[in-house]
Amino acid sequence: MDKKERAMVGFGGAAAMVLVIAGTWQGVHYTSTTEFCLSCHAMRTVGEEYRSSTHFRNASGVRAECKDCHIPPGIVPTLVRKTEALNDLYHTFISPSIDTPEKFAGKRAELAQREWQRMSANNSATCKSCHRYEAMDHAKQSANAAAQMSAAAAKNSNCIDCHKGIAHHKPDMSSGFRERYQQLLRQGEAQADTDTLYTLSENALTAAPGAPVGKALLFPATPVKVLKREKVTFWWK
């Protein structure tokens, strides 16, 4: 291969590399648009939530797009996040897991926790690409907001620790606690003949059955020594 041929091969290789890089970056850019994100059938639910949020429409007219919150700034973090997002294709086309509102509701807590953990890991880099502590004028904030944000700025706090459910509805995190509470109720009913009982909720105390309720309260988890039984059931309820 002579010098001219080598030059042609080198030029062709360089041109091909430029085309591949440009094409890849265009693909990254296109798949980062809000229109692309919300075109997915599974995103209809969260899309409507986003459109009703202040991140979509507000007095200042500044809109946070999907990528502004879900893709960290920088080329390398962006490519890493795009690689991770290949998992979304699997759950969309091969094994649909959130393709109905009912399925999405069932996984909302898991998905939210995953996203919160991702944001927490990079100290809310996407949030801080717009909301910078050093750019905040605390004098223009309410007294409560100024106190909270001044303390957060001093520690460079993670935004997502306090600001959840801004663009999407927060999941119901109480389901596990409700089930555990019901279990405790059942256990209390099964062990109601023991000598020591515990309250699970706040109860008013009376001097005698049927007497007027006064100001005395029995707080949750208070142990009660049984002295006499007269079909009283509220101790464990």
Taking only the tens place, the pLDDT of each residue in 139-168 is 999 999 999 999 999 999 999 999 999 999
Counted residue by residue, the chain has a size of 237
> Percentage of residues in the chain with pLDDT exceeding 90?
43
- Output the pLDDT for position 143: 94
Residue 237: band (very low, low, confident or very high) from pLDDT cuts 50, 70, 90: very low
119/123 Cα distance (integer angstroms): 6
pLDDT tens-place string over residues 109-140: 999 999 999 999 999 999 999 999 999 999 99
Q: Distance of CA 46 to CAs 99, 187, 192, 208, Å?
A: 12, 39, 46, 54
Domain match, 44 and 152 both: yes
pLDDT tens-place string over residues 180-218: 888 888 887 776 678 888 888 888 877 777 777 777 888
Question: Mean pLDDT over all residues of the chain?
Answer: 86
Most confident of 15-19, 37-41, 145-149: 145-149
Most confident of 7-21, 81-95, 128-142, 202-216: 128-142
- Output the pLDDT for position 231: 63
Domain end residue (candidates: 116, 143, 161)? 161
Residue 10, pLDDT > 70, answer: yes
Which amino acid appears at position 82 of this protein? Answer: K
16 in any annotated domain:
no
Domain end residue (candidates: 114, 140, 161)? 161
- Output the pLDDT for position 196: 86
- CA 127-133-136 angle, to 5 degrees, is 110
Domain match, 41 and 149 both: yes
Domain match, 197 and 143 both: no
Supply the range of the domain harboring residue 197: 191-236
**Can you give the pTM of this predicted structure?**
0.67
Domain match, 45 and 149 both: yes
Residue 233, pLDDT > 60, answer: no
Domain match, 154 and 76 both: yes
Q: Which range is least confidently modeled, 2-16, 42-56, 109-123? A: 2-16
Tell me how many domains the chain contains. 2
Domain end residue (candidates: 145, 161, 177)? 161
Domain match, 127 and 215 both: no
DSSP H/E element including 113: helix 101-121
- Output the pLDDT for position 1: 67
- Output the pLDDT for position 236: 47
Torsion angle (degrees, nearest 10) of CA 96, 126, 137, 55: -30
Domain match, 75 and 131 both: yes
Domain match, 70 and 152 both: yes
Residue 219, pLDDT > 50, answer: yes
- The one-character DSSP state at 5 is H
227 in any annotated domain:
yes
